[in-house]
Structure 1
Amino acid sequence: MIRGLYSAASGLITSEAKQNVIMNNIANANTSGYKSENISIKSFDQVMISNRDKMQGNRNVINNIGYLSNGSEIDERNTNFSQGLVKETGIKTDFAIEGEGFFVVQRNEVGGTKNYYTRDGHFNIDGNGYLVTVNGDRVLGYNNNGQLEPVYVGSGNISCSKEGVISVDGARRSQIAVADFTKKDNKYDNLNKVSDNLYEGENPILATNYSVKQSSLEAANVDIIKEMSDMMAVMRNFESDTKVLKALDETLGKAVNEIGTVR
């Protein structure tokens, strides 16, 4: 019975974690370049239930009854990197990646700068004429000498080719850096989601299977109908585990307070 309490409690914990992921997906349904997440659940190690009621000759031997699960736990958190719908915005500083890869942005941190990666191409021009994200991180690109540096566009008329080449008033200035990472079983091993719709990763490589579309943004790949359906299922599971936990608690209360009481 005590084991049943732990099993029900672990179900509540995993349901709460899954609910948080679903709510985060719904909250970011309108965030450009956002990639939906999900968590996979696995059971704790199972234990073999046995007794010694089985007789062989004149002695008792082990009789295996079957396996009993000790509950569930979170296995891993996965990100769905499928392409989102690309929508035109008419804004010159909006960019979308069609295909694989990520924009590279540079953030000022204590002790220096650090590069991050994002699919959100909703950029602006800061007071110094550099292309930046909504959080002020500078977008990186390759200058005419092939060096990686922040993209400077000044105040001229910006145009961008499908290869990501930025021109200002017809003169080439930079090529937007688009990085990618190696995959295993169609998953990124060295890429982790952090805050502000950014990712951090190790050993980036040059993306090849992509095109950049100016005056467009990639929408989030969140399926609202699926998320709402999953939310209802999680709420039902949570409610069921709560009822089981309450029933076990009441049974234990009776066992402690009533069984064996002198009447």
Structure 2
Amino acid sequence: MANPLLTAVSGMDAFQSWMNVIGNDIANVNTVGYKASEVNFANTLSQVMSSGSAGSTTGIGGTNPIQIGTGVQLNQVTPNFTQGGSDNTGNSSDLMISGNGLFALGATTTSPTPTEYTRAGNFTVDSSGYLVAPNGDYLLASTTPGGTPDTAIDVGSNSYTIGQDGTITVNDGNTPPPTYYLSLANFPNPSGLTNAGTNMWTAPAGGNQGAVTYGQPGTGSIGTVQQGYLESSNVDLTQEMSNMIQASTDYDGSSKLINTVQSMYQYMLQQV
């Protein structure tokens, strides 16, 4: 027979996990480019007490199976990649993607290849003149519009402009001036990316994100780039507070179920 105590415990575990996700979302309400997570649950395998049967040929109706559920389990925690709000910072190194796509980053300046991706465009210029993310990774661009990102962006101590199409022009006085082209990464299923922390995502081999493609901002389904802006977190505090109340109520209900089952067991023992 299904154990009601274990069923209730599964509920407490699931709702505690939901509360952890809610807490993380609320904690990151001011994190640049942060994507909130959505939680889905699934029932566990039911215990079949009696199998169903078809009706007989004499006109007697059939019977449905008798099944008792054994609890709930966490089925999916999915990042929501909908667009966050926009903050006007006025900083030339701050970039925001308006629409689909992610910035590609690499760990080196010598023949760099994309190893991480981000929606957080709070870049700075390091001591060597390269545009870098807060974790030190280099923002990558291409030498041709829409090409694979393979070049770290060296602006030196010069001023520079970044167009909505991702064209980076370095104003160093040379003719023609040094030019780079941001290519944004696009995945069939960005929710399948792995969260690596520090606002970074990785695309592991065999992951569910699909094959990456790169495109020039403003072309196809790729979003545009806005210089001097940052994408804010897409956490909806009102929704998160509502979810927190729901998770707390559900957790409390599972806890009360345990107390009720214990009282039933104690009563039965007293009758022995």
- Asked if Structure 1 and Structure 2 have the same fold, meaning a TM-score greater than 0.5 normalized by the shorter chain, the answer is yes
Alignment partners' CA distance in 2, 1:88 and 1:219: 10
**Partners of 1:10 and 1:73 within 8 A in 2:** yes
The percentage of counterpart residues that share the same residue type is 29
Task: Rate the CA distance shift 1:237–1:25 in 2: closer, same or farther, 3 A.
Answer: same
Q: Determine the C-alpha separation between the residues in 2 that align with 1:138 and 1:176.
A: 12
Go from structure 1 to structure 2 and tell me whether the alpha carbon gap of 1:143 and 1:45 turns closer, same or farther (over 3 Å shift).
same
- Distance 1:30-1:120 versus aligned 2 partners, 3 A rule: same
Displacement of 1:114 after TM fit?
A: 6.3
Q: 1-side partners of 2:67 and 2:180: how far apart?
A: 63
Tell me which residue corresponds to 2:182.
176
Aligned residues: 242
- The root-mean-square deviation of aligned C-alpha atoms, in Å, is 2.4
The aligned residue for residue 97 of structure 1 is 97
Higher strand fraction (1 or 2) = 1
Whether the 8 Å contact between 1:153 and 1:173 is mirrored in structure 2 is: no
The answer (yes or no) to whether the contact 1:5–1:245 under 8 Å persists in 2 is yes
| Structure 1 residue aligned with 2:54 | none
Distance apart, 1:3 and its partner CA: 1.2
Q: Where do residues 139-218 of structure 1 align in structure 2 (5 Å cutoff)?
A: 139-143=139-143, 148-169=150-171, 171-183=177-189, 188=190, 190-201=192-203, 203-207=211-215, 208=219, 209-218=222-231
Deviation per CA, 1:92-134: give whole Å up to 9, x if none. Answer: 11000011100011237xxx98610000000011111111111
Matches within 5 A, 1:1-263: 3-50=3-50, 66-107=66-107, 115-143=115-143, 148-169=150-171, 171-183=177-189, 188=190, 190-201=192-203, 203-207=211-215, 208=219, 209-256=222-269, 258-260=270-272
Which amino acid is 2:27 matched to? A
Q: What are the ranges of 5 or more consecutive residues in structure 1 without an aligned counterpart?
A: 52-62
Answer whether contact 1:158 1:169 (CA < 8 A) is retained: yes
Return the letter of the residue paired with 1:35: K
Counterparts of 2:24 and 2:152 in 1: how far apart (Å)?
A: 31
Runs of 4+ aligned residues of structure 1 deviating over 4 Å after TM superposition are 144-147
Unaligned runs of 5+ in 2: 52-62, 206-210
Counterpart CA distance in 1 for 2:88 and 2:21 is 29
TM-score (norm 1): 0.84
Code of the residue aligned with 1:219 in structure 2: it is S
